Each structure stands twice: as C-alpha cells, then as structure tokens.
Amino acid sequence: MDLLEYQGKQLFARHGVPVPSGKPARTVEEAVAAAEEIGYPVAVKAQVQIGGRGKLGGIKIATNAAEARAHAEAILGMDIRGLTVYELWIEGASDIAAEYYASVVFDRSAKAPLVMLSTKGGMDIEAVAEEDPDAIAHLHVDPLVGFQDFHGRELAFKAGVDADVVRPIGAILKQLYHVFVAEEATLVEVNPLIITPERGVRALDAKVTLDNNSFFRHKENAELRDLSAEDPQERMAKERGLTYVKLDGNIGILGNGAGLVMSTLDVVKLAGGEAANFLDAGGGSKAEAITSAVEVILANPRVTAVLFNIFGGITRCDEVARGLIAAFAQIKPTVPFVVRLDGTNDVEGRKLLAEADLPNVYTEATMDGAAAKVVELAGPARA
C-alpha cells in the first residue's frame, strides 16, 4: 500500500527521522487555519500518490493568509496525472542549501534490502540512473547484520556528499532503514533529502510503500488506506476477499489459481483480445464466491464479455456452475459468458449449466476454444 506524503512523514516522525512541521487539510478553511498555526511562509502541497507534483502546480509557497487561501482553492480538486486532489499538506517552508536523494528498497533479485544515496536529489531518480548511473551510491544490507554506522559512511563517501554532513547523512540513512524494517515496508524514499543552511539534514518528502500482508501486525498502518485513491472495482474485490487487478481491455476474466488466470490472459491476448481484469477466485471457490466475482467483473462498464476458465482440483466445477446460475438469477447479466470447466465434477457442472439454459452462456471444452469464442463475442474494446 502506497502512503500519501504526509502519512509517510508522520511515520518517519514516529521513528525520529527529522521532518518539517505540518498539518493535513481537506478544506480551504482547514488549510488556512493550519498555515496560520504553523506560521508563514508555508508550502501548500497536493496529496496524491504520484511524483512530479511541483512541476504540475501541485506545490505552492504561501507568504500570507490570502496566498494560502488562493493556493488551497487552486490545488484542491486539481487533476494530477489522472488523480484528483482531495487532501493537502500544509508545511513550514524550508531553506535549502542542497538536495540529496535517499531510499531503501527491497531488492528481490538479491533477496536483501538495497540502500541508495545520491547528491542529485530533487530530480527524477530514473533520469539520474539513466544519464549518470555513477551518481547513485548503493549497497545491499545483510538483514541479519542490519544497517551499521560504517554503511552510512561508505554510502556518503561513495556519493560524494559534503564532508561536514557525512555523519548526519549516515545517521538519517540508519533511521530510514529502521523505518523500513520496523514498519515492514517494501520502499522508503526521500526525494529530496535536504541540507539546510545550518547544515542540518531533513526529509522534505516521503514516499513509503507498506507490505499489505503485514497489516495484521500493524493495525495502525491498515487504517491509513486512502479509499478515495483506490479503484472502485479493486476496493470491492478486496472487501469480498478476491484477488483482482483492473486492466485496460473489455474481456472479463475469472479463473481459480493465479497461474491459470495468467495463462488465460495470455491465451486471450494470443486470440486477439484484451483482458479487462485479472481475477483469481482461489482454490476451493464456493458458489457465493463465484457470485461475488461476477458482480465485481461486471461493475466495470468496459466489460463486453466474460470468460470463466476453471480447472477443478480443490475447486469443484459443479460449485462454480451453481455460483454462475445464482449470479444470473441475482444480477441478470446482459453480456455473453464463455465457460470452460475441466477437472473435478466437470461433467456435473456442465450438466447443471445445460439444465439451467442460461441466456447468452456458451460452454467450451478447451482454453484455446474458450478464448477464441470470448474474443469473437466481445468485439473491439470501447474507447
């Protein structure tokens, strides 16, 4: 789960990472009140889970109440790369002598945390990596050893930071690593990490991604979900215990097991179609789970046909058939369905579907045949 900037900074503050003082605001009046309390000048910052806000007008400096009000009015409701701004972070403006970049990310290939530091902060780190890869110092940390003081000094010297801030930079890297481990994050990023004229070090931004699977150990983090930023279908699926990812096509996909669903996406693509989603109903799917899955798929108005690809192992094909029959009784879908049932109780499942004689439901014996049929029925994706 990605956090908003201010949520990341609040997380940082709990672990002793120095951040500017600030307050969140959802209305213009709250923004002005926060600015008055913090004291001018302040930064009025759009809170959306995407970078590049400043270049798009999502960050403004206010030196008085009138400017704070004008900036808040302009930024609230703004569209930033497809995301609507519903919340602001009002923060005391910072004097900046230098901008660095720092991050801790889990490197899956190395199976270890990767810590990075660069003196080229304030820029897109992807651009820095492409144009001047030597400008980014990095090292892997043995999780059993943890981040040590000498790691910080090594990164600081490699990155070429100013000599008088080598130790403060090392200290804040150690704190960021602690946040990464303690909060079970997959990414902790600060861009920029600023050096003040007094040679202090402070996190001026915060990008944090938390591992959702750890939330049973971090109840307070689970409450940080930004529901307004979540896709409605994905949120609906999560509430119903389904694994769902929205895609750009027009063919709804349901399978049991992640591997089978991925294969189904590939087969549909090879047949000339575009999937509207990835939906894994899971092993042992019961009739009620199938009904919920149909509701989630059809909540996407782009869907013009649906493919059920079920290989019965733990999952019983007759249960899937009953779920589809129940879904048709409750939802009354208007788009065609193609169903391929194979494995445990597949004969019984196909028999149930035949007896129910559901409108606009087609059965196919193979994945290739099912994919070709659903692509034919779906037609071209809507613009």
Residues taking part in catalysis: 101, 189
Q: How far from 245 is each of 158, 233, 255, CA to CA, in Å?
A: 40, 8, 13
| Beta bridge mates, 12 | none
Residue 123 DSSP symbol: S
**SS3 state of residue 106:** strand
The token pair that represents 179 in the structure block: 């946040």
Distance in angstroms (rounded) separating the CA atoms of residues 53 and 359: 49
Residue 260 DSSP symbol: H
Q: Which of 326, 236, 244 is nearest to 278 (CA)?
A: 244
Q: Alpha-carbon dihedral of residues 201, 207, 211, 215, nearest 10 degrees? A: 80
Distance in angstroms (rounded) separating the CA atoms of residues 298 and 17: 45
Burial class of residue 276 (count of CB atoms within 10 Å of its CB; 0-12, 13-18, 19+): buried
Residues for the chain: how many in total? 383
Q: Which of 51, 170, 162 is nearest to 115 (CA)?
A: 170
Distance in angstroms (rounded) separating the CA atoms of residues 282 and 75: 42
Query: Do you find a cis peptide bond into 301, omega within 30 degrees of 0?
Result: no
Q: Which of 118, 115, 170, 171 is nearest to 143 (CA)?
A: 115
Q: What angle do CA 195, 196, 202 make, to 5 degrees?
A: 60
Q: Where does 47-155 show beta strands of DSSP type E?
A: 59-62, 79-80, 83-84, 88-92, 98-107, 112-118, 136-140
Maximum CA extent, the chain: 80
